[in-house]
Amino acid sequence: MDVNGGEMSKNPTLICAPIMADSIDKMVTLMAKAKASTADLVEIRLDSLKNFNPFEDLNVLIKQCPLPTLFTYRPVWEGGQYDGDEKKRLDVLRLAMELGADYIDVELKVAHEFIKSIGGKKPEKFQVIVSSHNYQSTPSVEELGNLVVKIQSTGADIVPIIGLVMGERGLISRILCTKFGGYLTFGTLEAGVVSAPGQPTINDLLNLYNFRQLGPDTKVYGIIGKPVGHSKSPMLYNEAFKSAGFNGVFVHLLVDDLEMFLRTYSSTDFAGFSCTIPHKETAVKCCDEVDPVAKSIGAVNCIIRRQSDGKLFGYNTDYIGAISAIEDGLQARYNMSSAAGSPLAGKLFVVIGAGGAGKALAYGAKQKGARVVIANRTYERAQELADVIGGDALSLDDLARFHPEDGMILANTTSIGMQPNIDQTPMPKDALKYYSLVFDAVYTPKITRLLREAEETGATIVSGLEMFVGQAYEQFERFTGLPVDEFISPRSFIVPPHSTEGAVPENYVKVLTTLTQRLICLQQIAVRLITTARKLFDEMPHKDSITWNAMLSSYSQLCLHTDALSLFHLMRYTNTKPDHFTFTSTLNACSGLGSFRNGTKVHALIIAFGYQCYLPVNNSIIDMYGKCLDPCSARKAFEETGESIRNEVTWCSLLFAYANSGQFNIAFETFYEMPKRVLVAWNIMITGFARNGEVEMCIQLLKEK
């Protein structure tokens, strides 16, 4: 099946857009939107209309619909809105058939009567769908089997190959139906505007879950938790799977009983799982084998099903992402070098929570030489974990009064402060003044109340997003066997921006600006001036984005790329909002270092803050990928730069990406595609050939020039 976007689908499952509106005009508008969304057909919910003239309105809907039509006139007794005469309702459905409808949905309760009434009158391509809806309970396997028999006995044209489950738990049935041969699934035009609970949007089906490319051999991965709908894991992994060309899909899995879930979904088609609250500790018992580190921690956040025999292997990647993020924050705060050893060594590290994430952070901090204290609502659980790792224990009630020293580290691993309970915090603000760094494993919202108040007291803050991304890197490699750096796309990290701005004394800005301008002009005294500028910068009581940019630009233009990146990371931890000047300087530093990993992270932040529409930023992105020897990503960034706004720098950056990676055939094509071949473009080509010993090509280009 060739879908509207031109991409060949790997499966025959149709996407049906439910059309619900109170007027015919609105329905016609929505049908056009469904066509634009690349839906395959529309379900027209007649019971949503306020005023309905059957003959006239059905004619309009059928003639003006650009897609095949499925008509539903759902009665109240089956979960719909129609509460009128039953004979009139069925007459309307028969009329729709006569006027050219492609499908009619009729309820099992009246299906025998309806199908008997249209015997011998059905158009050749017309089909009847017989449906049954159960909003009260989940039927047993035996009950489902009996239901299948009943529907088949009605003479329906399409019998139970449309099996969809309601609500959040049923989301996987709406996505994975394409893997298991489902006839159609429903996708809405807008989030929340649904004809049944749990329907995803068409946009999510196509772009988040890559629905058209799922098939019988697609491997299923998911995030197991309760709650789980807030998790951004599907965004991250599905984008990475798509970039890697890996045949997998990642879904939310709302699970009550982990052992029963793993026993039920025992097929090797369900190849791996991320594990979150509250199942990390239980997962240790459910796996056939557990990695020694995960066993030491007592928690598993990654489960892999071995394809040869279906055995489950458990790992823990939480501590890697969280501890690395905390160390980065401390190094930025104290301007420490990573070569000096872990900044956690000797620090008092307070962990809130004794669950799976708490165990991981306590283990990781202890491994780095920190002195660990566990605080938990239940003191006995805190003491149990403290005994295992060799630390101390507190009750959560006593934590606010616990301050044996200044400069402590605080890590919240509970769900306190997670959406929707964003006004909650595990610690009173006044107690946070004793901590130099505060980490919160919660990342929805990115800046929790705990982090906001910690920042106000002067602490460095680290968001749970850093932990989420860090642990995901290792899980991706375990899921796919592929190197993560090459495939995790910057778009996977889109998060809401956060900023705090303070007033900056005008005299500080003037002095700093004067110094940075002199740095650019007077290279011979650069080292002395940059040191002076940084000292002045560090003494400033408040810094806005202009101040940070002045310092960043100085480092970048003097090719002090490591210092520039270090300053950018420090800027992030202060939550000063970056702008396009910030990102241009930082990308230049990534380019200078050839740091692909840092470059992709900066690219992700650019998208998060909405600066990808700025031409200088886009040009810097292309240049960064070119210098990091990734011409494919450079080309993608080039294509995303509107043709009307591209300039010579855009073209030259792309040209350099191909020439720098030795792809001279494509470089030649790009060179001759350029609207204007400026001198820089000629130099890029000649230098590229010269570097690769292609003397004759250099001479040929020089002659052409």
640-682 pLDDT, tens digit per residue, is 887 778 888 888 888 888 888 778 788 878 888 888 878 888 8
- pLDDT at residue 499, as a whole number: 35
Residue 459 pLDDT > 50: yes
Q: Could you give the strand order of the β-sheet that contains 41-45, starting from the edge strand earlier in sequence?
A: 127-131, 103-107, 69-72, 41-45, 14-19, 184-186
Q: Which residue has the higher pLDDT, 244 or 413?
A: 413
pLDDT score of 510: 43
Residues ≥6 apart with Cβ < 8 Å to 189 = 17, 30, 33, 34, 37, 201, 202
Choose between 556 and 517: higher pLDDT.
556
3-class DSSP assignment, residue 107: strand
**Rounded CA gap, 161 and 468, in Å?**
37
Position with higher pLDDT, 298 vs 435: 435
Annotated catalytic, 577?
no
Tokens 């974990």 belong to residue: 385
Mean pLDDT check: name the lowest of 47-51, 448-452, 629-633. Answer: 629-633
Instruction: Spell out the alpha helix ranges (H) of 481-560.
Output: 506-521, 526-539, 545-557
pLDDT confidence of residue 641? 83
Q: Are 657 and 626 in contact (CB under 8 A)?
A: yes
- Mean pLDDT on 603-620: 83
- Residue carrying structure tokens 């089956």: 78
In this predicted structure, the answer to whether residue 3 has a pLDDT above a threshold of 50 is no
- State how far the Cα of 131 lies from the Cα of 72, in Å rounded to an integer: 10
SS3 of residue 186 by DSSP: strand
Tell me how far apart the alpha carbons of residues 573 and 569 are, in angstroms, rounded to a whole number. 6
For 348-493, where are the alpha helices, taking DSSP H only? 356-367, 379-389, 396-399, 449-456, 464-480
pLDDT at 9: 62
- CA nearest 75: which of 117, 112, 45, 100? 45
Contact 435, 410 (CB under 8 A): yes
Catalytic pick among 10, 179, 242, 280: 280
| Amino acid occupying residue 557 | Q
**DSSP-assigned letter for residue 217:** T
Q: Convert the pLDDT of each residue in 308-322 to its tens digit.
A: 999 999 998 888 888
Closest CA to 285 of 297, 275, 299, 273: 299
E strand map for 316-471: 348-352, 371-376, 392-395, 408-412, 435-440, 460-462
Q: How confident is the model at residue 160 (pLDDT cuts 50, 70, 90)?
A: low
Residue 478: is it exposed, middle or buried by C-beta count within 10 angstroms (0-12/13-18/19+)? middle
* CB 553, CB 582: distance < 8 Å: no
Q: What's the angle, vertex CA 645, arms to CA 643 and CA 651, rounded to 5?
A: 70
Q: What is the distance between the alpha carbons of residues 703 and 648, in angstroms, rounded to a whole number?
A: 22
Are 560 and 593 a contacting pair, CB within 8 Å? no
pLDDT for 485 equals 59
Distance CA 129, CA 107 (A): 8
Least confident of 171-185, 344-358, 527-541, 553-567: 527-541
| pLDDT tens-digit map of 199-240 | 999 999 999 999 999 999 999 999 999 999 888 889 889 988
The answer to whether the bond into 445 is cis (omega within 30° of 0) is: yes
Q: Quick one: 60 exposed, middle or buried, by C-beta within 10 A (0-12, 13-18, 19+)?
A: middle
What pLDDT, in 10s, does the model give residues 468-516? 877 888 888 899 888 765 555 444 444 433 333 334 344 444 444 444 4
Six token digits for residue 556: 């970048």
Per the CB < 8 A criterion, the answer to whether 627 and 599 are in contact is no
Determine if residue 228 is left, alpha or beta; phi over 0 gives left, psi from -120 to 50 gives alpha, anything else beta.
Answer: alpha
The token pair at 348 is 């008092």
Q: What pLDDT, on a 0 to 100 scale, did the predictor assign at position 551?
A: 86
Q: Which residues neighbour 400 within 8 Å (Cβ) at sequence distance 6 or greater?
A: 427, 428, 430, 431
In three-state secondary structure terms, 32 is helix
- What are 597's two structure tokens? 């990993």
DSSP letter at 8 equals: B
Please determine, for residue 526, whether its predicted confidence score (pLDDT) is greater than 80: no
Residue 686 identity (one-letter amino acid) = I
Is residue 556 a contact partner of residue 564, using CB atoms and an 8 Å limit? yes
Q: Where are the alpha helices (DSSP H) in 137-274?
A: 141-153, 171-176, 202-203, 233-244, 258-264
Q: What is the pLDDT of residue 498?
A: 38
Q: What is the dihedral of CA 437, 440, 445, 450, to 10 degrees?
A: -60
**Span 395-422, pLDDT tens digits:** 999 999 999 999 999 999 999 999 889 9
Chain mean pLDDT for the chain: 85
What's the order of all strands across the beta sheet hosting 219-225? Answer: 248-254, 219-225, 270-275, 302-305, 312-315, 289-290
The candidate with the shortest Cα–Cα distance to 238, out of 496, 612, 489, 470, is 489
pLDDT digit string, tens, across residues 284-303 = 999 999 998 899 888 899 99
Q: What is the pLDDT of residue 516?
A: 45
pLDDT score recorded for residue 144:
86
- DSSP 3-state of 127: strand
Q: What is the Cα–Cα distance from 529 to 533, expressed in whole angstroms?
A: 6
Q: How far is CA 216 from CA 12, 312, 657, in A?
A: 11, 22, 38
- Environment class of 217 (CB within 10 Å of its CB; exposed 0-12, middle 13-18, buried 19+): exposed
pLDDT of residue 538: 81
More confident residue, 375 or 137: 375
